[in-house]
Amino acid sequence: MRLVVFFTALALSCGYANAQEQKEQDVSTGVGQGIICDTQQQAERYVELRDGGAAAVKALHAVNEEAENPTACGAAMVAFTGGKPLTEKALQGKTVMIVKIFIVAANDGMSWAPAGETIQYTIISRPGLNI
């Protein structure tokens, strides 16, 4: 079962600068709230839609419709282990990175549940960029 909890569309809390320094290495383990997607292409499509002016909720809805899966992309609070940055994309005139991460637990707003190292793709940005 996919563990996605729809919260606000905030960037994953690990910092862009830290990920930028570790571009050729794994991103550190952490806890964060952000957009996660089933595939790299879905994360890239979300960024493309947001960069084109779509609101976060509309961009998520569009990606999920295209994927024919209502939970392909969503906002979630997760505990994750490192992943390697895969690509960089432009969003609102700034650079964001698409990163493959391994979700080890998800929070439903009340408690944490294990996720068994589920592979997901997230978007990491500089602080202050509204993803």
Could you read off the pLDDT of 76-126 as tens digits, one per residue? 999 999 777 899 999 988 999 999 999 999 998 899 999 887 999 999 886
Confidence band of 130 (pLDDT split at 50, 70, 90): low
pLDDT at 21: 43
Residue 79 DSSP symbol: E
> What is the rounded CA–CA span in Å between residue 114 and residue 69?
22
pLDDT at 27: 54
Least confident piece of the model among 21-30, 40-49, 78-87, 95-104: 21-30
Share of the chain above pLDDT 90, in %: 60
φ and ψ of 62, to 5 deg: -65, -45
